[in-house]
Amino acid sequence: MNLYDEFFSMISLFNKLEIRYAVVDGIALAFHARPRFTRDIDVLVHQDDMSLLKMAMGRLGYEETAEPWILTNTTLTLHRFLKIEGQDEVMIDTLVANTDEHFRIIRDAELAESAIGTAPVAAKRDIILLKKSRSSDQDPVDISELEENDEDRESS
């Protein structure tokens, strides 16, 4: 399975169902800085749209793989969905937006054009904000990349 094909299928269905979401993390970095290897798709989803999202994930062939859990040092609950075809698998991590700040991130997402329509991508400042609240080993590298990309644009 191709991660980007899965991404396009997902955003197409989410948009059709009018799910309120923003793409965050690895794929969002490709829109704002430079692409980096990622094994999953991460989205921030409005808490009121979780039932609709779960139905959409089922339609796309994904199953929720574990009990949801709250990320350390945040109020974000993570739901993990997995699709397996033969030896291939794709994981979707869904962060449930449950504060005014999270709702603002979704509302302020930048609409990025793609082959199948628009994809709401969290603004660079909001990706940095989300990453600073977590403790992933990759987060400091991503934050540096996003900030460096800003400096490059300012100096050109």
Does residue 150 form part of some domain? no
pLDDT at 15: 96
E strand segments, 39-76: 40-46, 63-64, 69-70
Ranges in the chain, pLDDT < 70: 33-37, 131-147, 149-156
Task: Work out how many domains the chain is built from and give that number.
Answer: 1
pTM of the predicted protein model: 0.85
Does residue 13 form part of some domain? yes
pLDDT digits (tens, 9 = 90+) for 110-125: 999 887 889 999 998 8
Widest CA span in the chain? 48
Cβ count near 144 (within 10 Å): 12
Which CATH number characterizes residue 110's domain? 3.30.460.40
pLDDT at 130: 81
pLDDT at 150: 60
pLDDT at 4: 85
pLDDT at 140: 54
- Rounded CA separation 155/151 (Å): 6
pLDDT at 145: 66
Domain ranges, residue 132: 3-138
- Rounded CA separation 130/119 (Å): 19
Does residue 36 form part of some domain? yes
